[in-house]
Structure 1
Amino acid sequence: MDLLDGAARSYAWGSRTALAALRGRPTPSPHPEAELWFGAHPGDPATLRSETGDASLLDVVDSDPVGQLGSATVDKYGARLPFLLKLLAAEEPLSLQAHPSSAQAAEGFARENATGVAVDSSVRNYKDSSHKPELVIALTRFDALAGFRDPKRTLELFDHLAVPELAPYSEMLAAQPDSSGLRALFTSWITLPQRALDVVLPSVLEGCVVALGSGPGDFVPELRTVLELGEFYPGDGGVLAALLLNRITLEPGQGLYLAAGNLHAYLRGTAVEIMANSDNVLRGGLTPKHVDVPELLRVLDFEPLDAPVLDPEGERGTPVVYPTPAPEFTIARVDLTSSDTGITTAVAGSTGPRIVLVTEGDVDLVAGGRTLTVHRGGAAWLSATDPDPVVTTASETARLFVATVG
């Protein structure tokens, strides 16, 4: 049981205040801080602060995989931590993206290896052979686009906009208001020549302005989001694609699970994120990075779905699990007050390693005669052989998340 320092990642869409304030550091930060990685990902492993000195968590796991991960985890996933835990702070929208299934990732990784595409190439789609299911849990209000909206509702949005340039696309979807129609429309938009896009997109943006100016009504968040994306990514076909997706706002504590093939984009907010330990991303727009349209279309799931929001409830002081079908990870939230004593961080059914991440207050983890204090924005690593600690807090309230193998 030792402190774990996250690896900071700076991207243009990050915040200069959110993660710095969460960690008790001066604001604004010198650079946008987008993510803190608490894991053993080879791209940026966290640092373990032990009594014998500092070490990369990746090196610690590599040196004793069974002791750190447990034999069950090693037997199933090999000598690697199968999940990656993050703090994420988005000040600007992220790219429109989706992740492959296990079968798609394995096939794509082998195919790109066979054709000689370098793993670090900017046009590489598959950096590894794993799928990447992920769950984001809001710490603040968190806005996102996720999954294709019911086509009938999207047709109502098109009617509300009343943009003549949308008419042929509206007719296309109305003729086939299902997953096949969504595939046809999305494919048309993502492959539009720039000259055609430069006609349709400004008209849509003007239609959004007019519709919002007519007073309160349906689709206000959707229209504002399209205008915002049009400002951040002028001339990008992904702005049109946003018209087809569910617009979601998570309140603190609510989660959003994203399965394979789910087209999504995080828009704004601070959150805890956990995912399978993979770096496979297929982008669909809202980015200057590589967009492989044929490969994206192979991966996307066009079945309409309701907003997949998780809002688990439970007793204060006990782990509240966010249920997902992902086998690589389980995550639970624990809320406590200064009057709580002896609260366990054990998650039912877990025998693997754990990462305890504190997002409110300061907590003491007590196990084996040791007390480890974890401050807000900090984390602790518990190997598979560490005893279950109990947690207390001297602050009025505290919140922590326990991540482990599914």
Structure 2
Amino acid sequence: MKQLLAIPFALILPLANAAEHPVPFSWDTVPVYAHLANMSEDFTPEQHDFLAENFDLIAIEKGHAKRKHGSTEKGFAIAVKEIKKRNPQAKVLFYWNSTIHIGGYQANERFPEGGGLLSKDGEPLTIFNSDFSDLSQKAVRDWWSDTAEIAVRDLGADGIFIDAAGKFSNNSRRKVLSDEKIKALNDGLVSMVVDTRKKVGPSKLLIQNGVSLDPENIGARLLKVTDGAMKEHFVSAGHFEKEALAENMATLNRVAKSGKVTVIKAWPGFDWRDKEVMKTPREERIRMAREAITFPLACFLIVAEPYSYFCYTWSYQGNDTGTFVEYPEFKKPLGPPKGHALRDGWKYTREFAHASVFVDLESGDAKIDWKK
């Protein structure tokens, strides 16, 4: 009988150790993260209660309550105040897109004239009816980092969620931009985040959206400056390729072992773009999400390290994001891991003080045995 060698993730060489972060972390239960907004209204008192009780790390998305208050900043400041009133140790991040000039911010009144990105043919480049920001311009970079400073100084933010850092590959951008311009944009982004770190200080969190260890990738360059990263499309229950998922798991584990914050965003097999599913009663979506949680949660537990957080929702915006759902798995005692995960082919196992985790990427099977 052929015997396969179990390979511990510990053999993956870690990056240079990062300093400890001010964000709370505990293995007592599954460490979780929230990422959401409601463009129309403030969160209700009950929703503020839920966020404060269940999450210590929260990002408030773009446009929160802007239709009620006129700007994202005003809605954000209210949410931070209400969450921290209930949970003073919670860390709340201000969503700030690094690449796309999104509407709904007071800061847009200060956006530099001519700061939009133009194609090599001189045409404005847009996406979702928004302009791209030309980060090769110092005035645009200063505007962005100044806004981040205002968010932590005046709005109560504990840091910045830096979205769209590596949203578009260099190859895709070559269709509309010169190589020289692409390099200037990438260098500008890194410079902007370095300046932001100086302005907000070392105690504030900078979390980027996008994880890469490729030294040529902008995400890898930014990780030298930021405190950590989100993997936004880690796995969707029932929809994955085993090779890609295994590679993502290895990358995330290596980044987590370096001491960086890792936010792992998983999906219950559907999201807000699935129109037929979204037409069903909310109770049905909750039932589907509860039934599907084992596989993505098990994959998270295989790679989790201190300062790793699990996010499991089907949307980011509105009253029906999936954030305000009770999952029994999030209440069960977990305890610290007894060691690194072991890999045997496509099968992974890991032991925690109060749980045994098994995942098979080939069959899609997963099991978490919770110990009493």
Same fold (TM over 0.5): no
Whose strand proportion is higher, 1 or 2?
1
TM-score by length of 2: 0.29
Higher RCO (CA < 8 A, seq sep 6+): 1
TM-score, L = length of structure 1: 0.27
Which protein shows a greater Rg?
1
